[in-house]
Structure 1
Amino acid sequence: MSDDFSDLTSLLLVEHIAATGSLTAAAEKSSMTVSAASQRLAKLERSIGQSLFVRLPRGMSPTEAGAAVIRRIGALRFEIRSIRGDLEAIQSLRAGSVRLGSFPTASASLVSDALREFIATWPDVQVSVRSGVFPDLLEVLESGEVDLAVLWSYDFTPPWPTSILVQPLMHDPMHLLVSATSSSATTIALAELSDASWIVRQDQHPATQVLLRSCARAGFEPRVVYEANDYQEVQAMVSAGVGVAMVPGLALDQLRADVRKLAFTKNSAVPARQISLGTLDRRSLSPSMVAMTRCLQRAARALSGA
Structure 2
Amino acid sequence: MSLDVRRLLLLAQVARQGSITGAAAALTYTPSAVSQQISRLEAEAGQPLLDRHARGITLTEAGEALVTHAERIDRELRAARTELDELAGLRAGSLRIGTFPTVAASFLPLAVREFRGRYPAVALAVHSARNAGLIELLDSREVELSLLWDYEWRRLSEPGLEVTHLLDDPTTLVVSKAHRLAGRGSTTFAELAGEQWIVRDDHPVAEVLTRSCHAAGFEPSIAYRAHDYQEAQAMAAVGLGVVLAPRLALAGLRDDVTTVALGSSAPVRRILLGRASHHRPTPAAAALRQVFLETAAALRDAGDELDRLVRRAALP
Q: Is the TM value for this pair above 0.5?
A: yes
Distance in structure 1 (CA, Å) of the matches to 2:276 and 2:29: 41
Contact 1:110 1:296 in 2 (8 A): no
The structural deviation recorded for 1:134 is 1.5
1:117 aligns with 2:114: yes
1:78 aligns with 2:75: yes
Contact 1:197 1:225 in 2 (8 A): yes
Distance in structure 2 (CA, Å) of the matches to 1:198 and 1:305: 31
Deviation track 1:168-219 (CA, whole Å, cap 9, x = no partner) reads: 111000001111112320111111111111111112x211111111112212
Matches within 5 A, 1:214-253: 214-253=212-251
Residue of structure 1 in register with 2:51 after alignment: 54
Secondary structure of the structure 1 residue equivalent to 2:23: helix
**TM-score, scaled relative to structure 1:** 0.92
Distance in structure 1 (CA, Å) of the matches to 2:296 and 2:206: 24
After alignment, is 17-26 or 77-86 more displaced? 17-26
1:129 aligns with 2:134: no
Contact 2:17 2:23 in 1 (8 A): yes
Distance in structure 1 (CA, Å) of the matches to 2:240 and 2:156: 36
Which runs of 5 or more structure 1 residues have no equivalent in the other structure? none
Deviation track 1:197-254 (CA, whole Å, cap 9, x = no partner) reads: 1111112x21111111111221222111211111111101111101111100110000
Q: 1:13 aligns with which of 1, 7, 10?
A: 10
Distance in structure 2 (CA, Å) of the matches to 1:41 and 1:193: 87
Q: 1:141 aligns with which of 114, 138, 141?
A: 138
1:42 aligns with 2:39: yes
Residue of structure 1 in register with 2:210 after alignment: 212
Secondary structure of the structure 2 residue equivalent to 1:156: coil
Deviation track 1:31-74 (CA, whole Å, cap 9, x = no partner) reads: 44445433322222122222110122343221111122223333
Q: Which runs of 4+ in 1 moved over 6 A?
A: none
Residue of structure 1 in register with 2:149 after alignment: 152
Aligned residues: 300
After alignment, is 176-185 or 35-44 more displaced? 35-44
Residue of structure 2 in register with 1:64 after alignment: 61
Contact 2:9 2:71 in 1 (8 A): no
Q: 1:298 aligns with which of 290, 294, 315?
A: 294
Contact 1:180 1:258 in 2 (8 A): yes
Deviation track 1:252-277 (CA, whole Å, cap 9, x = no partner) reads: 000000111111121x2x32000011
* Letter of the 2:255 counterpart: A
Distance in structure 2 (CA, Å) of the matches to 1:178 and 1:300: 27
Contact 1:13 1:27 in 2 (8 A): no
Residue of structure 1 in register with 2:201 after alignment: 202
Distance in structure 2 (CA, Å) of the matches to 1:239 and 1:76: 68
* Letter of the 1:114 counterpart: A
Contact 1:201 1:208 in 2 (8 A): yes
Distance in structure 2 (CA, Å) of the matches to 1:297 and 1:40: 52
* Letter of the 2:74 counterpart: R
**TM-score, scaled relative to structure 2:** 0.89
Which runs of 5 or more structure 2 residues have no equivalent in the other structure? 303-316
Residue of structure 1 in register with 2:259 after alignment: 261
Contact 1:171 1:273 in 2 (8 A): yes
Deviation track 1:95-123 (CA, whole Å, cap 9, x = no partner) reads: 01100100000111111111112223322
